[in-house]
Each structure stands twice: as structure tokens, then as C-alpha cells.
Amino acid sequence: MKRLSAILTAILAVLALAPAAPAGATTRFDRELTARIAQAQAYADSRPGETGIVLRDRWTGAVYRSAAAGTLIWACSTPKLAMVVDLLLRNDSGAVKLTAEDRDLMHRMLNSSDDAAAHTLWTRYGGEAEFAKRFPSYGMTDMRFTDQHPHHWGWILTTANDLDRLINYVLTKLPRQHRDYIVHEMRNVDVNQQWGVWGAGSAARPGNKDGWSDDNDDGSWIMNSVGFVGPHERFTLALMNNTKVIQNGFETGQETTTKISEILFKGYFKG
């Protein structure tokens, strides 16, 4: 009964969060997805730590944000996506000229979250001084560096709201050729990134960029995932999970983020 009550309460919260509708469009999630959101939130609430969740229907404008969507959590490898965006746009403007090696490093960052590739591009193309000043233009307006970990692409505090805005910048603001390139890369990630949003299942044609690390302040794990799901990338999903668990934290966070996406979307897309 307690779990049923929690789900019903979450459903009411989802309905209350539906934004005002533009002309000719609905901004409410359908009944099935509303129930799934409630179940996913109840599951997240039952898990260790806290999880920021932002789910967006790009066709209707409906958005669900969990209570922790604005909580600052270490970004880990998710800024690699913003780095690729920045490099592509700087190349377009003529500010830089990307080489074949650079493009291979970009592929490795997106495909397997290669840290060495990220370090090389970060230092080669200006580090914090260059990249970070433009990240807010791609939606990461909450992000901040700290004195604990200055000048490092992975140790940026950010939010699920930031990652939601970033993935939607990729899908709606980038030139078509760059968007298509990134979508292809995110749909074909290495097995080490096939969790989190990937939990939606193959029928949902997910794509994601994951980020993970033990939090070197207290040893707990940070497990983040941002990506898209569905035909024409209809839905975007941003997940930021601070497990607050030290032992088996990686497995705990991986299970939490993957299960949330599974609850939301596995079996949702018919045909």
C-alpha cells in the first residue's frame, strides 16, 4: 500500500508539472508514460543517494523534472559531449582547424568515453579558458568549476537541467550535419556506455553519453547518463546519480540509472 500511495502521489506531481500548452499542441505526457514516470520516480526514491531526472517530449513540449534536477553533481565525462559541440562550431567559424587526428579523438570521446582523448583535445584547444566560456551557450548555465578540481573537464559541478539543455541544443540548434554525426555516435557507443539511458531497450533506438567516477571527496560514486529515445529522437532523458555509496557504488549507480530508463521506455514503443 505504501508503494501504491507513493506512485499515486508521483502521478499527481507529474500532472502538476506539465507546462502551459502552445497553440495546437499538448504538453501532457500520455496516460501510460505518466504512470511510468511515477513508477520511475518511486524507484529512484527507493535507491541509495539522489538522482536528478529530466525527461522531455520534444514533440509536445512536456517536461518532467525530479526534485533533484537542479542539484549540483560532478559532471564526470558528460562535458565531452559539450567539447565535441564546441570543437565542431569553432571549426565552422574558422577559429580552429580540426585534423583527422582530432576527429578520431572526438570519436573516441563519444564512443568509449576515452579520457586520454579528452585530455589531449582539452589541452590542445585551450582548456577551461576556451571551452568553459562557451559551455553556457550550449545550455550548461548551472555549471561551475571549484577550487577543489580547477581546470579539469570532468570535475565540473553541473545539474540534470544542464544536461537536458545540452542534449536539446545538440538536437535542435546544431547544423544538421553535426547533429546527425553526434546522433550516430551516441547510438553506436561502446559496450562500456551501454547503460543509463541505454536501458530503454533496442526498440527505443537509444543514444547516450555516460559519465562515471568515484567521488574523490568521499569515495561514493557518480553515475550520469544523458541521451535520447524513440523515433526521431522524440524524447530526451538526463540522469545524474550520486550514489552516496562507497562499496559497489559503480554497480549501484549503473543499476539505478539503467532501471529508471527501462521503467520509462522498455516496451513503450510499439511495432
Which of 17-26, 131-140, 218-227 has the lowest average pLDDT? 17-26
Give the pLDDT of residue 146. Answer: 81
In a domain, 270, yes or no: no
For 47, 127, 152, the CA distances from 115, given in Å and listed in that order, are 29, 14, 11
Q: Residue 177 belongs to a domain with what CATH number?
A: 3.40.710.10
Instruction: Show the cell assigned to 185.
Output: 555516435
Confidence class for position 14, pLDDT limits 50, 70, 90: very low
Give the pLDDT of residue 23. Answer: 30
Instruction: Give the 3-state secondary structure of residue 174.
Output: coil
Confidence check: pLDDT of 37 > 60: yes
Condensed to tens digits (0 to 9), the pLDDT of residues 150-195 reads 678 888 999 999 999 999 999 999 999 999 999 999 999 999 999 9
Domain that holds residue 236: 2-265
Name the one residue in this structure whose C-alpha cell is 553556457.
Answer: 136
d(CA 31, CA 48): 28
Number of structural domains (the chain) is 1
Condensed to tens digits (0 to 9), the pLDDT of residues 137-155 reads 999 999 998 877 767 888 8
Backbone torsion region of residue 4, taken as left when φ is above 0, otherwise alpha when ψ lies between -120 and 50, otherwise beta: alpha
Name the one residue in this structure whose C-alpha cell is 549540483.
Answer: 72
In a domain, 271, yes or no: no
d(CA 135, CA 142): 10
pTM, to two decimals: 0.89
In a domain, 41, yes or no: yes
d(CA 267, CA 65): 22
Asked whether 236 and 171 are in contact (CB, 8 A), the reply is: yes
Which is more confidently placed, 218 or 122?
122
Asked whether 167 and 54 are in contact (CB, 8 A), the reply is: no
In a domain, 113, yes or no: yes
Confidence class for position 113, pLDDT limits 50, 70, 90: very high
Asked whether 160 and 68 are in contact (CB, 8 A), the reply is: yes
Average pLDDT (219-230) is 95
